[in-house]
Each structure stands twice: as C-alpha cells, then as structure tokens.
C-alpha cells in the first residue's frame, strides 16, 4: 500500500475551490428542477387531460432512462442538431434540472394529495377560487410533506452531480481527476474528493433533520 | 302558500351505477329549518352536497331563489357564496388563526377590506362565544369550539342558506350542547337551514320539518310532531324504534 497524501497537498486549494462550483451547480439545477417540478405537479393534479398526459409521460421518460445518458445527449446532440456549442455548465444544468423536475413533480404531487380532502371541500364550500385555494390553503399545508423530501432530492443531486465531470465540467470530481492525472496518484485525490462530498451530504442531512424538527413542532 | 325559496324537483344522483338519490322532490321556505334524518348510507350527505354543488346532480332540478343550480352554465361560485356549509369534521384551516379562518373567504372572494372583515369576524366570534380565541390556532381548541368557529367562518360570507352535515357527530357528548345552542340561536335569526343530524331531541325542538331519507328515497316530509309521534311509514317507525 502506497498512500501519500502529502503529494496532493499543493493541489488541495484547487480541489476545495470545486466546492463552490459544485454547490452553485446543484443550486441552479435544483431551482430549475423545482420550477419544472412545480409546473408538472400542477398539470398532474389538474384536470386537463392533455397536460396530465404530458406530465406523466415526461416523468416516466426522465425517471426511466439513465441520467448520464440524458446528460450526454444534451451535451453532444445539441451541437450536432442545432449547431450550438453548448457549454458544459449549461448542458449539466439542463440535464439535472430537467431530470430532477420529474422527481420533484412527484414529490409535490404526493405532498398535495396527502393534504386532507376536507380542506379542499371547505374551501370550495366557501366559494374560494382554485388559485387562492391552492396558494393559501393547500400548498402551505402540503409544504410540511414536501420540504423534507425536497431536501432529500437536493442531497441526491449533490452526490449525483459528480457525473458532470464526464463532460469536463470543473466540479469537485473533475478537479480530483485532474489532480490525479497531474500527480500520477490514483487514490489520494479521489479519497479527498469523497471526503468533501461526504461532509457536504452530512451537512445537508443535518439541515434536513433540523427543518423536519421545526415543521413537526409547528403542528 | 308563498313561493318557496328552495325548490328540489326529482333530484337524482348516482356514482357510477350506484343510485344514491332516487328522485327527491321537496321545497324549503325562506327561514325554514329542515332536519334530514335517515339510516347510514341513505344519501343524506349526498342530498345536502347537491345543494351547494359539492356534488353535481345527475338529473332533476334545484333552485335556490331565482338561480337554477342545475341549469347549464350556472355560476357555481356565486351559488356557493350564498350557501354556507358546516362539516362533521370542521375542516378549519389549521395553519390560520381563528380570526384568519373567519376573514379569509370574505377578503379573498368578496374583496372585503381586511379591517372591515376583521370587525365582522370579531362580532361573529362573539355571537358563537369565542371572541377571546381570535388569535389562537385551531389545534388549541376543543371540538365544540372548532365547530363554532366553523359556523362563524361559514356565516362570514353572509349566506342566505346554511347546510349542516352531522355537525355534532364528531364531538364529545359534553360539547354537543354548546354547538346546538349556537345553531338554535341562528335558527331564531330567521336563517334558512338544512341539518343532517342524529340529534332527535334537537330535531324535535328546532326543526320546522323533518325529511326522512331511506335508500335514496324521501320517505317522510312532515312536521316533527307528526314524524316522531305518528310516522306514516313502516320504515320510519323501524328507524325510530332503533334510535329512540
Ligand atoms: N363520492 C362517492 N363516490 C362513490 N360513492 C359514494 C360517494 N359518496 C357517497 N357514496 C355512496 O353513496 C351512498 C350514500 O352516501 P351518503 O354519504 O350520502 O350517506 P349518508 O346518508 O350521509 O350516510 P352517513 O349517515 O353514514 O353519513 C353510500 O353508499 C356511499 O357509499
Ligand atoms: Mg353522511
């Protein structure tokens, strides 16, 4: 066994800088995914047939194929199809945003449908129109179910984001690979990157628990 | 007789091929209090819910005032503004305070100004004996208090008709009276009320008329004295034997 972390010490700041890159990437992807997920979930619970069908098909396709394939398709097919040389960041955001939109739409749909049916009836009996009913009555209550699951999705995104390294995006993972190539070390940079991911994920997990505790207390 | 306020003509409702209401016809005058009685599954809730279009009638006609609810293109929202409903399980909005529960619909639906709506709400809460609870959240209230807030919430829309679906069935026995008392004083204000209830004493005392439903059929439609002392149908007699 020949592990020598001293060899990568000069490269540590370089890898650490990847934290912001990764976090920014995850954040933007999550926001995009949340927007798409919200819209899709409204399609799913609404009663317009075509939109429902679209949202279900969308979810099925994005959940039914590998994320890395979606990423590759967007990154390599975009230049070929429309002649636009798509940057890795944009391709990654699109793939992750579109993909997590499918998962988030299910989270939101389930959260909304878990709200007591009586709430909706009470609102309807009071002649409250659909939009304010959703915004003021149903969604605030659904958030209690949705928020913890959303944080889980965020954690998943953080881990899975490492696959954007495959298209050359300079996140934590990619930086570890670069260091590995430059220093002729196989393990040390990867183990270091793994440690960073683990700390990030643990931090988010603790945050999730805190949020859940607060939600439960406000019952 | 005067022109009745609510007219129900041959009302049918089915869910799939289950016929729940099999041609109900009756009328309700302005200010009348109707008790709806019948065995479980007889269609009482369904009947009530057809009156504010929480259920869409399969066929037949319902008029409230000059509006035909069953006409094509009826403005459902306009109908519901005029018909308040109180549920067995209250369905208060748990994330809103008592005051917000009462003011939300007038502000949102009718565009009443917030301070005006709040003044109104305080008065309504006073009338149900709960003005001191205005800033509490519903989960801090007892069942009886919740139901009284639910009544105030429905009244805040200033409806002409109030529907009650077993308003005391989910309450502990010691809280039934406070809710029935509120309903009684509401009846005295001349509110038109349709009440699904198992409280026979209340029906006897407060109702102007009893509708007895069985198997989706309106079997009796008579004043309470007649219903309780001298029911004409065997089905009503059997039912009363069981519950009295
Ligand atoms: N949305 C629905 N879909 C299918 N069947 C329904 C629906 N609502 C009610 N039913 C059925 O219609 C019948 C009458 O129901 P309803 O709730 O009107 O009875 P009820 O007289 O109010 O009974 P209870 O005293 O138990 O409340 C029942 O057999 C019930 O299962
Ligand atoms: Mg019922």
Whole-number Å distance, alpha carbon A213 to ligand 1 midpoint, is 39
Distance CA(B99)–CA(B117), nearest Å, equals 9
Asked if pLDDT for residue A186 goes beyond 90, the answer is no
Count CB-CB contacts under 10 A for residue B143: 18
- Facing residue for A122 by CB, picked from B78, B87, B157: B87
Distance CA(B1)–CA(B39), nearest Å, equals 31
Which class does domain A16-217 fall in? mainly alpha
Cβ contact A128–B91 (<8 Å): no
Neighboring chain B residues of A129 at a CB cutoff of 8 Å: 77, 108-109
- Tokens read off for A36: 């798409």
Neighboring chain B residues of A122 at a CB cutoff of 8 Å: 85, 87, 91-93
Domain residue extents for chain A: 16-217
Nearest residue in chain A measured CA to CA from B106: A126
Q: What pLDDT digit, counting tens, does each position of B145-182 carry?
A: 999 999 999 999 999 999 999 999 999 999 999 999 99
pLDDT of residue A8: 86
Distance CA(B239)–CA(B145), nearest Å, equals 31
Distance CA(A199)–CA(A205), nearest Å, equals 10
Please state, in angstroms and as integers, the Cα–Cα distance from residue B158 to each residue in A53, A113, B128, B153, B232, following that order.
Answer: 41, 31, 15, 10, 38
Please state, in angstroms and as integers, the Cα–Cα distance from residue B83 to each residue in B10, B73, B86, following that order.
Answer: 21, 18, 10
- Facing residue for A141 by CB, picked from B52, B85, B95: B95
- Tell which of A116, A124, A125 to mutate to test the B interface (max B CBs under 10 Å): A125
pLDDT of residue A216: 77
Q: Which pLDDT band holds residue B243 (cuts at 50, 70, 90)?
A: confident
pLDDT of residue A218: 62
Nearest residue in chain B measured CA to CA from A116: B91
Count CB-CB contacts under 10 A for residue A79: 12
Q: What pLDDT digit, counting tens, does each position of B57-74 carry?
A: 999 999 999 999 999 999
Distance from CA of B240 to the nearest CA of A (A): 31
ipTM exceeding the 0.90 mark = yes
Whole-number Å distance, alpha carbon A58 to ligand 2 midpoint, is 40
Average pLDDT for B239-243? 90
Q: What pLDDT digit, counting tens, does each position of A99-138 carry?
A: 999 999 999 999 999 999 999 999 999 999 999 999 999 9
Domain residue extents for chain B: 92-158
Percent of chain A with pLDDT over 70: 99
Average pLDDT for A149-177? 95
pLDDT of residue A109: 96
pLDDT of residue B2: 62
Cβ contact B93–A127 (<8 Å): no
């Amino acid at each position: 066994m020949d592990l020598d972390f001293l060899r990568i010490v000069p490269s540590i700041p370089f890898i650490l800088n990847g934290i912001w890159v990764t976090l920014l990437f995850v954040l933007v992807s999550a926001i995009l995914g949340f927007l798409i997920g919200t819209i899709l979930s409204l399609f799913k619970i609404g009663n317009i047939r075509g939109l429902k069908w679209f949202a279900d098909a969308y979810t099925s396709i994005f959940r039914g194929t590998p994320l890395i394939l979606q990423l590759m398709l967007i990154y390599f097919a975009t230049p070929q199809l429309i002649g636009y040389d798509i940057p890795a960041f944009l391709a990654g955001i699109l793939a992750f945003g579109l993909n997590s939109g499918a998962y988030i739409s299910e989270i939101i749909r389930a959260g909304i449908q878990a709200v007591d049916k009586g709430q909706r009836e009470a609102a309807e009996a009071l002649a409250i129109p659909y939009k304010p009913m959703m915004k003021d009555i149903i969604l605030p209550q659904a958030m209690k179910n949705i928020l913890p699951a959303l944080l889980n999705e965020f954690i998943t995104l953080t881990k899975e984001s490492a696959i954007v390294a495959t298209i050359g995006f300079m996140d934590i993972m990619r930086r570890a690979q670069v260091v590995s190539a430059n220093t002729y070390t196989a393990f040390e940079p990867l183990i270091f990157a793994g440690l960073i991911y683990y700390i990030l994920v643990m931090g988010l997990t603790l945050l999730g628990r805190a949020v859940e505790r607060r939600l439960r207390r406000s019952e | 007789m005067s022109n009745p306020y609510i007219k129900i003509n041959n009302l049918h409702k089915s869910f799939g091929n289950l016929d729940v209401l099999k041609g109900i016809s009756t009328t309700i005058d302005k200010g009348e209090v109707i008790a709806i009685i019948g065995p479980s599954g007889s269609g009482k809730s369904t009947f009530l819910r057809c009156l504010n279009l929480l259920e869409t009638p399969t066929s037949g006609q319902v008029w409230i005032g000059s509006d035909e609810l069953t006409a094509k293109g009826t403005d459902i929202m306009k109908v519901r503004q005029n018909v308040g409903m109180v549920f067995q399980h209250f369905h208060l909005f748990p994330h809103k305070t008592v005051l917000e529960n009462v003011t939300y619909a007038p502000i949102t639906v009718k565009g009443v100004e917030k301070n005006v709506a709040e003044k109104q709400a305080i008065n309504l809460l006073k009338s149900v004996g709960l003005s001191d609870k205005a800033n509490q959240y519903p989960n801090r209230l007892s069942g009886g208090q919740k139901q009284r807030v639910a009544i105030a919430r429905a009244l805040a829309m200033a409806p002409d008709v109030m529907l009650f679906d077993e308003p005391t069935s989910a309450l502990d026995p010691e809280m039934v009276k406070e809710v029935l008392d509120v309903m009684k004083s509401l009846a005295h204000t001349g509110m038109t009320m349709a009440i699904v209830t198992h409280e026979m004493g209340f029906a006897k005392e407060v109702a102007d008329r009893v509708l007895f439903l069985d198997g989706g059929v309106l079997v009796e439609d008579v004043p309470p004295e007649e219903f309780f002392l001298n029911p004409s149908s065997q089905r009503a007699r059997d039912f009363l034997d069981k519950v009295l």
